[in-house]
Amino acid sequence: MVVDLTRALAGPHAAMMLGDLGARVIKVETPNGGDDSRGWGPPFVEGESTYYLSANRNKESVTADLKSPEGKEFLTRLVRKADVLIENFRPGVLDRLGFSTAQLHELNPGLVILSITGFGHDGPDGGRAGYDQIAQGEGGLMSITGAVEPTKVGAPIADLLAGMYGAYGALAALHERSITGKGRVVRTSLLASVIGVHAFHGTKWTVAHQLPERVGNHHAQIAPYGMYRTADTSIQVAVGSEGQWRTFAPIVGLDPEDERFAVNSQRVAHRDELTASIEAAFAAEPADVWLERLAEKGIPAGKVRDFQQVYEWEQTLSQGLLIDVEHPTLGTIQLPGPPLRFDDNPYAGARETNLPPPRLGEHDESVRAWLDEDA
């Protein structure tokens, strides 16, 4: 069982991932308003925030004022039965509520505690509040995103990555507990999550001492690899090897042995010329013609879809990435589904039935009755 004390996105996303895998997730919310994201909109549908709906499937909701004696007693009872507790308070808040790490492990020595913060729980900036866009900027991600000026990623990627890193860390700690019998604290942060995905941009600086630069919709170190205009709309092409280059070049009327473009390093150095040549060729035909032509030659290419096109795409549907759930007030709604599939389960995630994001306090009675069973 997972106790979810989190709000907004990073923590709720981590808890939802565990719920997708079959865990019972009990989300503890403040009685007055609950999770902040319940109020984040528009859009709202019959009063329900679509933001909240995105991060809270496969959970139950209970309300408790953790500053009150009754709320503290309720959380104490939950902790004693829990396998994982997830929190994303600012450092020190849980301690002041009377639930420090030591106190939590006194209540339940096997408890795995996942703590997600903005910039880490210690260090000179350990107390800073964490918000996605600020972390994207502070963590360097915005400096390599965009064409002209630093640009944030369209999705709240720092929050989502922190949730993902946190969930896999919690699973590792649970595996360790199966051997040792003891729980531990797993920590991550928005800052850590952003730096964790620097990939080759990071080593470009740490090893080569070169600052990565923004290259817009093109790969920083491979060419041609990016978005190109055709007669009607843009498509994306990824030429990832010299063999692919020798196949691709004649399609757009280029000599693969042209000294400007013969190897990848030269193509990167002459990227602007290469892009202009490709787009001059692409201008002769619409996108669908080029996509078919490239597919015939085995060159990776694709459309740039909007969200309607993504969720109506047969490939999306075939992968279980859109699920139906029965919401207590909205009726049957569709949600983006769990991104994992298991061979022995035809459903998205590891559950046979996905639960809708709960109404605030929807499970107050049932969870408290469950706790009373062992009282």
Segment 17-34, tens digit of pLDDT: 999 999 999 999 999 999
Pairing outcome for strands 234-238 and 225-229: antiparallel
Segment 158-187, tens digit of pLDDT: 999 999 999 999 999 999 999 999 999 999
Instruction: Give how far Cα 237 sits from Cα of 54, 73, 285, 287, 369, Å.
Output: 31, 58, 15, 11, 57
Name the DSSP class of 90: P
> What share of the chain has pLDDT > 90, as a percent?
94
| pLDDT of residue 270 exceeding 90 | yes
pTM confidence score:
0.94
pLDDT score recorded for residue 347 = 64
Question: Which amino acid type is present at position 91?
Answer: P
Tokens, residue 68: 């009150």
Are 159 and 13 contacting, i.e. CB atoms less than 8 angstroms apart?
yes
On the question of a cis peptide bond just before residue 43, with omega within 30 degrees of 0, the verdict is yes
Instruction: Give how far Cα 127 sits from Cα of 118, 122, 162, Å.
Output: 8, 7, 17
Average pLDDT over residues 212-222: 94
Q: What b/e sequence results for 260-275 when a residue is b if at least 16 CB atoms lie within 10 Å of its CB, and e otherwise?
A: ebbebeebbebbeebb
Tokens, residue 127: 């107390």
Average pLDDT over residues 266-293: 97
Of 351 and 114, the structure prediction assigns the larger pLDDT to 114
Partners of 228 in beta bridges: 235
What residue ranges define each of the domains in the chain, with the CATH number in brackets?
Answer: 2-197+317-373 (3.40.50.10540), 225-303 (3.30.1540.10)
Using CB atoms within 10 Å of the CB of residue 34, give its burial: 0 to 12 exposed, 13 to 18 middle, 19+ buried. Answer: buried
| pLDDT of residue 291 exceeding 80 | yes
Question: Which of these is catalytic: 20, 35, 83, 159?
Answer: 159
Cα separation of 221 and 336, whole Å? Answer: 33
Cα separation of 176 and 112, whole Å? Answer: 10
pLDDT score recorded for residue 127 = 85
| pLDDT of residue 104 exceeding 70 | yes
Residues 6+ apart with CB under 8 A from 318: none
Element (H, E) at 191: helix 190-195
pLDDT score recorded for residue 350 = 76
Give CA angle at 321 (354, 349), nearest 5°.
45
| pLDDT of residue 285 exceeding 90 | yes
Are 10 and 37 contacting, i.e. CB atoms less than 8 angstroms apart?
no
Among 185, 136, 193, which residue's Cα sits nearest to residue 163?
193
Partners of 115 in beta bridges: 87, 187
Question: Which amino acid type is present at position 235?
Answer: I
> What share of the chain has pLDDT > 70, as a percent?
99
For 76, list phi and psi in degrees, rounded to 5. -60, -45
Is 258 among the residues known to form the active site? no
pLDDT score recorded for residue 277 = 97
pLDDT score recorded for residue 348 = 63
Cα separation of 235 and 286, whole Å? Answer: 10
pLDDT score recorded for residue 67 = 96
Tokens, residue 373: 């069973």
pLDDT score recorded for residue 313 = 97
Of the ranges 40-44, 231-235, 357-361, 371-375, which one carries the lowest mean pLDDT score?
371-375
Segment 300-342, tens digit of pLDDT: 999 999 999 999 999 999 998 999 999 999 999 999 999 998 8
3-state class (DSSP) for residue 182: coil
Q: What is the mean pLDDT of the chain?
A: 96
Tokens, residue 222: 């491979």
Partners of 324 in beta bridges: 334
Average pLDDT over residues 100-111: 97
Segment 336-375, tens digit of pLDDT: 999 998 887 766 667 888 999 999 999 999 999 999 987 6
Among 268, 254, 266, which residue's Cα sits nearest to residue 225?
268
The pLDDT confidence band at residue 140, using thresholds 50, 70 and 90, is very high
Of the ranges 92-96, 179-183, 240-244, 342-346, which one carries the lowest mean pLDDT score?
342-346
Tokens, residue 217: 């919709």
